[in-house]
Amino acid sequence: MNDADHNVDDIVPLIQLDMMLAEMGQGFNAYLERRAAQDLLRRLQAMSDADLARMGLARTQIVSHVACQLGAGTLAA
């Protein structure tokens, strides 16, 4: 069967399914990024001030550092 054999009633559900899966995928990507951000935040918060300083961070900068990583899209790689 080729594309010419399909009528609109056959194609519309396929398009709807494709759109639904694409939306789910984008939501899943956001979920993965949020999880990665939460994990990074927990890891950094568990570090000592000395360890943070070696990374060039102060404890008060943790949240903004994680937010910048999230904004840059570098978390869920």
Q: How far apart are CA 7 and CA 5, in angstroms?
A: 7
Give the number of domains in the chain: 1
The pLDDT, as a whole number, for residue 43 is 94
**Tokens 């927990």 sit on residue:** 42
Q: Which residues of the chain have pLDDT under 70?
A: 1-9, 76-77
Q: Is residue 77 part of a domain?
A: no
The pLDDT, as a whole number, for residue 33 is 85
Angle between helices 62-72 and 8-46 (to 10 degrees): 150
The pLDDT, as a whole number, for residue 20 is 79
**Tokens 């999880």 sit on residue:** 35
Q: Which residue type sits at 10? A: D
Domain residue limits at 59: 3-72
Q: Is residue 23 part of a domain?
A: yes
